[in-house]
Amino acid sequence: MKKIRILYIEFENDIASYEIPAFRSAVVQIAGNENIIFHNHLKENFRYSYPLIQYKQINKHPVIICIDEGVEEIHHFFEKKQIGIILGEREYELKINKLNLNQFIMQVWDKTFYYHLRNWLPLNQKNYHEFKKIDNEIEQIEYLEKILTGNILSFARGIKWEINKRIQLRINKINDKKIITVKKVKREAYTIDFSTNVFLPNHIGLGKNASVGFGVVKQMRKSSNE
């Protein structure tokens, strides 16, 4: 069991999904590059850890999600917050629409939770080729389930939560699969419904590029397939 805090910061004016990396860059510039938690980059490399500050598009609005330590560090942004920023070639007004702080108890339960996972990037260069060698659809789903379980464990490590119970997880439905370009590399993005005995807070990211709006978790009442 682990208690965490999550701060949800939503801005008022609409943004396109492709503008999220530019939005992130603008926030990082305001907060200061020296504050690594905002961008997970070291001088010569990446900080290979679960991102505790994440940038997303939710209902067309740009959102910053601050998790645990990220809640403490967001003051670097608010202390220097500007009226507006530049997104690509356009001006954007940083007007806050919604700000919510919640505390959650992270736990593996004896019941099932249902989730929708949007634009999840499960495959990297290595496991993509392994995945494509699997001909059987059931085995492909099992392979993806193992990756998603690993993504949840990465999240747990990132918030210093030690999971000591067995994670049960099932992908119930693949709603969509499409090719997208991330940093000039073509990737397969999946939108799925899944169930697990792990409680996951709304809007956290799982999988690759979780810091810039991929793999967004949304709780569901029940899987559409069950």
Asked if residue 134 is part of any domain, the answer here is yes
Among 38, 57, 70, which residue's Cα sits nearest to residue 119?
57
Residue 119 CA to its chain's centroid (Å): 10
User: CATH no. for residue 80?
Assistant: 3.30.70
Q: Are 109 and 199 in contact (CB under 8 A)?
A: yes
Q: Are 84 and 92 in contact (CB under 8 A)?
A: yes
Predicted confidence (pLDDT) at residue 43 exceeds the cutoff of 70: no
> Residue 56 and residue 74: Cα distance in Å, rounded?
16
Predicted confidence (pLDDT) at residue 153 exceeds the cutoff of 90: yes
Asked if residue 47 is part of any domain, the answer here is yes
Q: What is the pLDDT of residues 66-84, one digit of tens each?
A: 999 999 999 999 998 888 8
Predicted confidence (pLDDT) at residue 125 exceeds the cutoff of 90: no
Predicted confidence (pLDDT) at residue 167 exceeds the cutoff of 80: yes
R_g of the chain computed on alpha carbons: 18
Predicted confidence (pLDDT) at residue 42 exceeds the cutoff of 80: no
Dihedral of CA atoms 142, 144, 146, 151 in degrees, nearest 10, equals: -160
> Residue 180 and residue 121: Cα distance in Å, rounded?
10
Asked if residue 148 is part of any domain, the answer here is yes
Asked if residue 10 is part of any domain, the answer here is yes
Look-up of token digits 């119930």: 172
> Residue 149 and residue 200: Cα distance in Å, rounded?
12
Q: Write down which residue in 72, 104, 136 finishes a domain.
A: 104
Q: Write down which residue in 79, 104, 129 finishes a domain.
A: 104
Predicted confidence (pLDDT) at residue 41 exceeds the cutoff of 80: no
Predicted confidence (pLDDT) at residue 141 exceeds the cutoff of 80: yes
> What is the model's pLDDT at position 183?
79
Give alpha helix (H) positions in the chain: 20-31, 69-73, 75-78, 125-132, 137-158
User: CATH no. for residue 148?
Assistant: 3.30.70.1900
* Residue 122 and residue 168 in one domain: yes
* Residue 43 and residue 92 in one domain: yes
* Residue 90 and residue 113 in one domain: no
Structural domain count, the chain: 2
Asked if residue 44 is part of any domain, the answer here is yes
Q: Which two tokens stand for residue 44?
A: 């010569």
Q: What's the domain range around 26?
A: 2-104
Asked if residue 66 is part of any domain, the answer here is yes
Q: What is the pLDDT of residues 179-199, one digit of tens each?
A: 998 878 889 999 999 999 999
Q: Write down which residue in 85, 104, 123 finishes a domain.
A: 104
- C-beta atoms surrounding 2 within 10 Å: 14
pLDDT over 70 for what percent of the chain? 95
* Residue 83 and residue 119 in one domain: no
